[in-house]
Amino acid sequence: MPAVSPASPAFDLAVLPTAPPPEADEDAARATADALREELATLQELLYANRRHALLVVLQGLDASGKDNTIKRVLRTLSPSGLAVHAFRMPEPQELAHDFLWRVHARVPARGMIGVFNRSHYEAVVSDVVQGLCSETERQQRLQSIRDFERHLAASGTLVCKFFLHVGREEQRRRLQARISDPTKQWKLGPDDLEVRRRFPEYESLWSGTMAATDAVHAPWHVIPADRKGYRDLRVLTVLVDTLRALEMRYPVPARRLRPEDVPD
Protein backbone atom coordinates (compact mmCIF):
# COMPACT_ATOMS: atom_id res chain seq x y z
CA MET A 1 0.00 0.00 0.00
CA PRO A 2 1.18 3.56 -0.61
CA ALA A 3 2.52 5.54 2.34
CA VAL A 4 -0.33 8.02 1.88
CA SER A 5 -3.83 6.54 1.84
CA PRO A 6 -5.85 7.09 -1.35
CA ALA A 7 -8.48 8.68 0.89
CA SER A 8 -6.05 11.45 1.87
CA PRO A 9 -6.28 14.84 0.12
CA ALA A 10 -2.47 14.62 -0.21
CA PHE A 11 -2.69 11.45 -2.29
CA ASP A 12 -0.76 11.85 -5.55
CA LEU A 13 0.04 9.04 -7.98
CA ALA A 14 2.87 11.07 -9.48
CA VAL A 15 5.03 10.62 -6.38
CA LEU A 16 4.34 6.91 -5.86
CA PRO A 17 6.78 4.25 -7.10
CA THR A 18 5.98 2.25 -10.22
CA ALA A 19 8.85 -0.24 -9.78
CA PRO A 20 9.55 -2.80 -7.03
CA PRO A 21 11.67 -1.74 -4.06
CA PRO A 22 15.41 -2.41 -4.49
CA GLU A 23 15.35 -5.23 -1.95
CA ALA A 24 12.63 -7.17 -3.80
CA ASP A 25 13.80 -10.69 -4.68
CA GLU A 26 12.39 -11.81 -8.04
CA ASP A 27 12.83 -15.55 -7.41
CA ALA A 28 11.24 -15.33 -3.97
CA ALA A 29 8.36 -13.27 -5.37
CA ARG A 30 7.73 -15.89 -8.06
CA ALA A 31 7.68 -18.74 -5.53
CA THR A 32 5.35 -16.89 -3.20
CA ALA A 33 3.05 -15.96 -6.09
CA ASP A 34 2.81 -19.63 -7.16
CA ALA A 35 1.76 -20.65 -3.64
CA LEU A 36 -0.80 -17.85 -3.48
CA ARG A 37 -2.32 -18.90 -6.83
CA GLU A 38 -2.93 -22.37 -5.43
CA GLU A 39 -4.49 -20.95 -2.27
CA LEU A 40 -6.63 -18.59 -4.34
CA ALA A 41 -7.99 -21.58 -6.28
CA THR A 42 -9.01 -23.27 -3.00
CA LEU A 43 -10.61 -20.07 -1.73
CA GLN A 44 -12.51 -19.73 -5.00
CA GLU A 45 -13.94 -23.22 -4.53
CA LEU A 46 -15.01 -22.35 -0.98
CA LEU A 47 -16.63 -19.13 -2.22
CA TYR A 48 -18.50 -21.08 -4.90
CA ALA A 49 -19.58 -23.82 -2.48
CA ASN A 50 -20.93 -21.42 0.14
CA ARG A 51 -22.72 -18.96 -2.21
CA ARG A 52 -22.88 -16.31 0.49
CA HIS A 53 -20.51 -13.72 -0.95
CA ALA A 54 -19.17 -12.56 -4.30
CA LEU A 55 -15.83 -10.96 -5.12
CA LEU A 56 -15.65 -8.07 -7.56
CA VAL A 57 -12.16 -7.22 -8.83
CA VAL A 58 -11.85 -3.83 -10.55
CA LEU A 59 -8.73 -3.40 -12.69
CA GLN A 60 -7.80 0.09 -13.84
CA GLY A 61 -4.63 1.66 -15.18
CA LEU A 62 -3.36 3.79 -18.01
CA ASP A 63 -2.77 2.24 -21.43
CA ALA A 64 -0.16 -0.55 -21.44
CA SER A 65 -0.28 -0.88 -17.64
CA GLY A 66 -0.91 -4.62 -17.99
CA LYS A 67 -4.59 -5.19 -17.20
CA ASP A 68 -5.07 -8.10 -19.65
CA ASN A 69 -1.76 -9.67 -18.65
CA THR A 70 -2.64 -9.41 -14.96
CA ILE A 71 -5.90 -11.28 -15.52
CA LYS A 72 -4.09 -14.00 -17.47
CA ARG A 73 -1.26 -14.49 -14.98
CA VAL A 74 -2.94 -13.89 -11.62
CA LEU A 75 -6.13 -15.88 -12.22
CA ARG A 76 -4.77 -18.76 -14.29
CA THR A 77 -5.42 -21.39 -11.59
CA LEU A 78 -9.09 -20.48 -11.16
CA SER A 79 -12.00 -22.54 -12.43
CA PRO A 80 -13.82 -20.85 -15.35
CA SER A 81 -17.16 -22.00 -13.90
CA GLY A 82 -16.70 -19.62 -10.95
CA LEU A 83 -15.12 -16.73 -12.85
CA ALA A 84 -16.60 -14.00 -15.05
CA VAL A 85 -14.40 -11.42 -16.80
CA HIS A 86 -15.85 -8.41 -18.57
CA ALA A 87 -14.00 -5.69 -20.48
CA PHE A 88 -15.87 -2.39 -20.63
CA ARG A 89 -15.51 -0.63 -23.97
CA MET A 90 -17.10 2.55 -25.26
CA PRO A 91 -20.84 2.48 -24.37
CA GLU A 92 -23.24 1.19 -27.02
CA PRO A 93 -26.34 3.26 -27.97
CA GLN A 94 -28.60 1.17 -25.72
CA GLU A 95 -26.20 1.68 -22.80
CA LEU A 96 -26.04 5.43 -23.41
CA ALA A 97 -29.84 5.53 -23.18
CA HIS A 98 -29.55 4.51 -19.50
CA ASP A 99 -27.68 5.94 -16.53
CA PHE A 100 -23.92 5.29 -16.59
CA LEU A 101 -24.11 2.51 -13.96
CA TRP A 102 -26.84 0.52 -15.74
CA ARG A 103 -24.46 -1.58 -17.81
CA VAL A 104 -22.13 -2.05 -14.83
CA HIS A 105 -24.71 -3.37 -12.40
CA ALA A 106 -25.75 -6.01 -14.92
CA ARG A 107 -22.19 -7.43 -14.80
CA VAL A 108 -21.78 -7.59 -11.01
CA PRO A 109 -20.93 -11.20 -10.05
CA ALA A 110 -23.55 -13.40 -8.44
CA ARG A 111 -22.92 -14.80 -4.96
CA GLY A 112 -20.34 -17.55 -5.19
CA MET A 113 -18.62 -15.98 -8.19
CA ILE A 114 -15.49 -13.94 -8.78
CA GLY A 115 -16.09 -11.15 -11.29
CA VAL A 116 -13.37 -9.09 -12.93
CA PHE A 117 -13.89 -5.70 -14.56
CA ASN A 118 -11.20 -4.82 -17.10
CA ARG A 119 -11.83 -1.07 -16.95
CA SER A 120 -15.07 -0.16 -15.23
CA HIS A 121 -17.53 2.52 -14.13
CA TYR A 122 -14.51 4.65 -13.22
CA GLU A 123 -13.94 5.51 -16.87
CA ALA A 124 -17.07 7.67 -16.55
CA VAL A 125 -15.32 9.98 -14.06
CA VAL A 126 -11.89 10.05 -15.73
CA SER A 127 -11.86 9.38 -19.48
CA ASP A 128 -15.22 11.08 -20.01
CA VAL A 129 -13.89 14.20 -18.27
CA VAL A 130 -10.70 14.37 -20.36
CA GLN A 131 -12.72 13.89 -23.54
CA GLY A 132 -15.13 16.66 -22.62
CA LEU A 133 -18.11 14.33 -22.25
CA CYS A 134 -18.67 15.07 -18.57
CA SER A 135 -18.61 18.42 -16.75
CA GLU A 136 -17.11 18.83 -13.29
CA THR A 137 -20.61 19.10 -11.81
CA GLU A 138 -21.64 15.86 -13.51
CA ARG A 139 -18.39 14.25 -12.37
CA GLN A 140 -19.13 15.04 -8.73
CA GLN A 141 -22.63 13.61 -9.10
CA ARG A 142 -21.21 10.45 -10.66
CA LEU A 143 -18.63 10.09 -7.89
CA GLN A 144 -21.43 10.19 -5.34
CA SER A 145 -23.35 7.58 -7.34
CA ILE A 146 -20.27 5.34 -7.37
CA ARG A 147 -19.85 5.67 -3.61
CA ASP A 148 -23.51 4.76 -3.09
CA PHE A 149 -23.30 1.89 -5.59
CA GLU A 150 -20.25 0.31 -3.96
CA ARG A 151 -21.75 0.72 -0.50
CA HIS A 152 -24.84 -1.11 -1.75
CA LEU A 153 -22.72 -3.92 -3.20
CA ALA A 154 -20.87 -4.37 0.08
CA ALA A 155 -24.11 -4.43 2.05
CA SER A 156 -25.41 -7.11 -0.34
CA GLY A 157 -22.45 -9.43 0.24
CA THR A 158 -20.12 -8.42 -2.58
CA LEU A 159 -16.48 -7.85 -1.65
CA VAL A 160 -15.01 -5.06 -3.76
CA CYS A 161 -11.25 -4.92 -4.48
CA LYS A 162 -10.09 -2.06 -6.72
CA PHE A 163 -6.62 -2.09 -8.25
CA PHE A 164 -4.83 0.69 -10.07
CA LEU A 165 -1.88 -0.71 -12.02
CA HIS A 166 0.60 2.12 -11.71
CA VAL A 167 2.97 2.12 -14.69
CA GLY A 168 5.78 4.64 -15.09
CA ARG A 169 5.80 7.03 -18.00
CA GLU A 170 9.06 5.66 -19.43
CA GLU A 171 7.91 2.06 -19.05
CA GLN A 172 4.63 2.91 -20.76
CA ARG A 173 6.53 4.47 -23.68
CA ARG A 174 8.67 1.33 -24.01
CA ARG A 175 5.59 -0.92 -24.04
CA LEU A 176 3.73 1.19 -26.57
CA GLN A 177 6.77 1.24 -28.86
CA ALA A 178 7.06 -2.54 -28.53
CA ARG A 179 3.44 -2.91 -29.62
CA ILE A 180 4.01 -0.77 -32.69
CA SER A 181 7.11 -2.79 -33.61
CA ASP A 182 5.43 -6.20 -33.25
CA PRO A 183 2.87 -7.08 -35.98
CA THR A 184 1.20 -9.55 -33.59
CA LYS A 185 0.55 -6.80 -31.03
CA GLN A 186 -0.33 -3.81 -33.19
CA TRP A 187 -4.02 -4.62 -32.84
CA LYS A 188 -3.77 -3.72 -29.14
CA LEU A 189 -3.01 -0.10 -29.98
CA GLY A 190 -6.22 1.89 -30.50
CA PRO A 191 -6.45 5.19 -32.40
CA ASP A 192 -6.80 7.16 -29.16
CA ASP A 193 -3.97 5.52 -27.23
CA LEU A 194 -1.28 7.96 -28.34
CA GLU A 195 -3.52 10.89 -27.46
CA VAL A 196 -3.93 9.42 -23.98
CA ARG A 197 -0.16 9.12 -23.82
CA ARG A 198 0.24 12.82 -24.64
CA ARG A 199 -2.11 13.67 -21.77
CA PHE A 200 -0.43 11.34 -19.25
CA PRO A 201 -0.13 13.96 -16.44
CA GLU A 202 -3.78 14.96 -16.85
CA TYR A 203 -4.98 11.38 -16.56
CA GLU A 204 -2.69 10.71 -13.60
CA SER A 205 -4.01 13.77 -11.78
CA LEU A 206 -7.64 12.83 -12.42
CA TRP A 207 -7.03 9.29 -11.21
CA SER A 208 -5.42 10.62 -8.03
CA GLY A 209 -8.49 12.72 -7.25
CA THR A 210 -10.86 9.92 -8.18
CA MET A 211 -9.21 7.42 -5.86
CA ALA A 212 -9.12 9.97 -3.04
CA ALA A 213 -12.88 10.48 -3.49
CA THR A 214 -13.85 6.80 -3.67
CA ASP A 215 -11.47 4.89 -1.38
CA ALA A 216 -13.45 3.20 1.42
CA VAL A 217 -13.03 0.40 3.93
CA HIS A 218 -15.69 -1.63 2.13
CA ALA A 219 -14.26 -0.83 -1.34
CA PRO A 220 -10.54 -0.01 -1.00
CA TRP A 221 -8.15 1.10 -3.70
CA HIS A 222 -4.81 -0.68 -4.02
CA VAL A 223 -2.09 1.07 -6.00
CA ILE A 224 0.12 -1.62 -7.56
CA PRO A 225 3.59 -0.79 -8.93
CA ALA A 226 3.25 -2.29 -12.42
CA ASP A 227 6.61 -1.81 -14.15
CA ARG A 228 7.62 -5.42 -13.34
CA LYS A 229 5.14 -8.22 -13.92
CA GLY A 230 6.31 -10.59 -11.20
CA TYR A 231 6.11 -8.04 -8.42
CA ARG A 232 2.78 -6.74 -9.75
CA ASP A 233 1.31 -10.24 -9.72
CA LEU A 234 2.49 -10.88 -6.17
CA ARG A 235 0.92 -7.67 -4.86
CA VAL A 236 -2.44 -8.37 -6.53
CA LEU A 237 -2.49 -12.00 -5.39
CA THR A 238 -1.68 -11.01 -1.81
CA VAL A 239 -4.66 -8.65 -1.66
CA LEU A 240 -7.08 -11.17 -3.20
CA VAL A 241 -6.01 -14.02 -0.93
CA ASP A 242 -6.09 -11.84 2.19
CA THR A 243 -9.57 -10.60 1.26
CA LEU A 244 -11.01 -14.10 0.86
CA ARG A 245 -9.14 -15.50 3.86
CA ALA A 246 -10.89 -12.93 6.04
CA LEU A 247 -14.23 -14.65 5.32
CA GLU A 248 -12.98 -17.72 7.26
CA MET A 249 -14.96 -20.00 4.96
CA ARG A 250 -15.52 -23.71 5.53
CA TYR A 251 -17.04 -26.28 3.22
CA PRO A 252 -20.79 -26.43 3.87
CA VAL A 253 -22.17 -29.49 5.65
CA PRO A 254 -25.06 -31.23 3.80
CA ALA A 255 -28.44 -31.13 5.53
CA ARG A 256 -28.58 -34.91 5.28
CA ARG A 257 -25.51 -36.95 6.12
CA LEU A 258 -24.76 -39.45 3.36
CA ARG A 259 -22.66 -42.62 3.50
CA PRO A 260 -20.83 -44.35 0.64
CA GLU A 261 -23.28 -47.25 0.92
CA ASP A 262 -26.18 -44.88 0.20
CA VAL A 263 -25.17 -44.79 -3.46
CA PRO A 264 -27.64 -47.05 -5.36
CA ASP A 265 -26.33 -50.11 -7.18
Residue-wise pLDDT for 4-40, tens only, equals 457 666 689 999 999 999 999 989 999 999 999 999 9
Segment 148-163 mean pLDDT: 98
Separation CA 102–CA 85 (nearest Å): 17
The string of pLDDT tens digits covering residues 43-92 is 999 999 999 999 999 999 999 999 999 999 999 999 999 999 999 998 99
Task: Please tell me the predicted confidence (pLDDT) of residue 194.
Answer: 86
The string of pLDDT tens digits covering residues 117-133 is 999 999 999 999 999 99
**Nearest one of 227, 100, 109 to 161, comparing CA atoms:** 109
- Type and span of the H or E element at 160: strand 158-166
pTM of the predicted model as reported, rounded to 2 decimal places: 0.94
Contact 191, 63 (CB under 8 A): no
**Nearest one of 238, 245, 185, 256 to 42, comparing CA atoms:** 245
Residue 1, pLDDT above cutoff 70: no
122: Cβ contacts below 8 Å, ≥ 6 apart = 58, 60, 146, 210, 214
The string of pLDDT tens digits covering residues 214-232 is 999 999 999 999 999 999 9
Domains of the chain with CATH codes: 25-246 (3.40.50.300)
The string of pLDDT tens digits covering residues 69-82 is 999 999 999 999 99
Segment 241-255 mean pLDDT: 95
- Here the contacts of 18-27 (C-beta below 8 Å, separation 24 or greater) are 18/166, 18/167, 18/168, 18/171, 18/225, 18/226, 18/227, 19/168, 19/171, 19/225, 19/227, 19/228, 19/231, 20/225, 20/227, 20/228, 20/231, 24/231, 26/228, 26/230, 26/231
